[in-house]
Amino acid sequence: MDGANGGFWISRYRPELGLWGKITARDSMVRRMDWAMLGSALTLSALGCLLVWSATRNRTELNQGDPYYFLFRNVLNTGIGIALMIGTIWLGHRTLRGAVPVLYGISVLLTAAVLTPLGSTINGSHAWIQIGGGFSLQPSEFAKITIILGMAMLLAARVDAGDRAHPDHRTVVQALALAALPIGIIMLMPDLGSVMVIVVIVLGILLASGASNRWVIGLVAIGASGAIAVWQFGLLDDYQLNRFAAFANPELDPAGVGYNTNQARIAIGSGGLTGTGLFNGHQTTGQFVPEQQTDFIFTVAGEELGFLGAGLIIVLLGIVLWRACRIARDTSELYGTVVAAGIIAWFAFQAFENIGMTLGIMPVAGLPLPFVSYGGTSMFAVWIAIGLLQSIKMQRPVSA
């Protein structure tokens, strides 16, 4: 089995060398991993575990009387995510390319299942499936991955085969149709935050694929017109309208719709340069910031670790994005470039939106901070994405 069809370890192993061949293959795999990216992601997840613990250890209404409840679960989620990353590397992004139709179909079915009696509502968004034992699944997180893989497979097929220099208009239409189905389902939940992320992913993929810029300009125009129409015809739920109203006017109802963002800014502002110290934040221990372990986890960093600690999180996210850009640039196949570009757009926009809403420069959209926020499905998804990026780097052709 060669590198085009299987995992990197298998493609580099030479049976005639016996044990030495296995050792050499493993050593090559380890050396070719992007350790700067992996180390940054691991550090972010470790910081996230501490911040989640700080935000939840005193919240008896959430932790069932166990101060370690969320810490243990977050460590477990991170461990499962890392295992999924390893599995993704072992399979290889090229092997997954052949499984895209199956993965996409499963993703769409799970996303649609949210609209059935299996779905449940959390924080106003009907976007979850309860699976027992206090665990829940948010299928839209997996939809981000399958949309990236599916669009990359379609857009890169004829280009990587050497038939075309760029995707033609028919291929772009097919790729957009593939993304439109899960977007439509997610809009019905409604989960506006996830839709925003997926739209940015689609735009990033089109830009990286070499498709005509007219598609990007047209989609931006359609998106702007659609947003205006949604607003004018009252298609948003009340809680979504309230979030935009609070963003437009931070002083609007500070004890009501503006409460989250006001308390978030107070928490971050009180941290100063070095913070109040882990577990010593008054806003955090006083439980003034709602959903602090998930959407507003950055406020814990701002208050307890200060500007330096919060800045470290941004720097680590920047390293992940920088290494992902290097991977997208260096790979020789369009498929790998497009997959990496989709992940870059996903991580960059979601991190900007999450941090921005805590600072009051973006509306509250209910999006987790990658690697840091508490949440099983989101943690699994971002680590699978890291596995895809590592696979693209490790499986690119080796110079003689």
Residue 399 lies in a domain: no
213 and 266 belong to one structural domain = yes
Between CA 64 and CA 196 the distance in angstroms is 34
* The token pair that represents 279 in the structure block: 């577990």
Between CA 327 and CA 305 the distance in angstroms is 32
322 and 229 belong to one structural domain = yes
Q: Could you give the percent of the chain with pLDDT greater than 70?
A: 82
- Count how many residues are written for the chain: 400
Residue 7 lies in a domain: yes
50 and 187 belong to one structural domain = yes
39 and 8 belong to one structural domain = no
| Model confidence pLDDT, tens digit, residues 319-362 | 999 999 999 999 989 999 999 999 999 999 999 999 998 988 88
119 and 254 belong to one structural domain = yes
Q: What are phi and psi of 128, to 5 degrees?
A: -130, 155
Number of C-beta neighbours around residue 59 at 10 A: 16
149 and 169 belong to one structural domain = yes
| Model confidence pLDDT, tens digit, residues 170-228 | 999 999 999 999 999 998 887 888 999 999 999 999 999 998 888 888 888 887 777 67
Q: How many domains does the chain have?
A: 2
Q: What are phi and psi of 125, to 5 degrees?
A: -110, 120
pLDDT at 188: 85
pLDDT at 12: 45
Nearest to 379 by CA among 75, 13, 10: 75
pLDDT at 27: 58
What separation in angstroms does the CA of 1 have from each of 7, 12, 14? 9, 10, 11
Average pLDDT, rounded, for the chain: 85
Residue 49 lies in a domain: yes
pLDDT at 133: 63
The model's pTM is 0.88
236: confidence class by pLDDT, cuts 50, 70, 90: low
230: confidence class by pLDDT, cuts 50, 70, 90: low
- CA dihedral defined by 182, 144, 53, 129, rounded to 10 degrees? 30
267 vs 18, which has greater pLDDT? Answer: 267
155 and 15 belong to one structural domain = no
- Mean pLDDT for 366-394 is 95
Kindly state the helix (H) or strand (E) to which residue 50 belongs, with its residue range: helix 35-56
- Mean pLDDT for 141-157 is 95
Residue 218 lies in a domain: yes
Residue 400 lies in a domain: no
23 and 115 belong to one structural domain = no
Number of C-beta neighbours around residue 248 at 10 A: 9
Nearest to 331 by CA among 83, 42, 84, 34: 34
Residue 252 lies in a domain: yes
| Model confidence pLDDT, tens digit, residues 31-90 | 788 999 999 999 999 999 999 999 999 888 888 888 999 999 999 999 999 999 999 999
Is the pLDDT reported for residue 21 higher than 70? no
pLDDT at 79: 97
279 and 202 belong to one structural domain = yes
Spatial contact of 35 and 387, defined as CB atoms under 8 Å apart: no
Spatial contact of 182 and 175, defined as CB atoms under 8 Å apart: no
Which structural domain, as residue segments, surrounds residue 20?
1-32
4: confidence class by pLDDT, cuts 50, 70, 90: very low
154 and 226 belong to one structural domain = yes
Is the pLDDT reported for residue 9 higher than 50? no
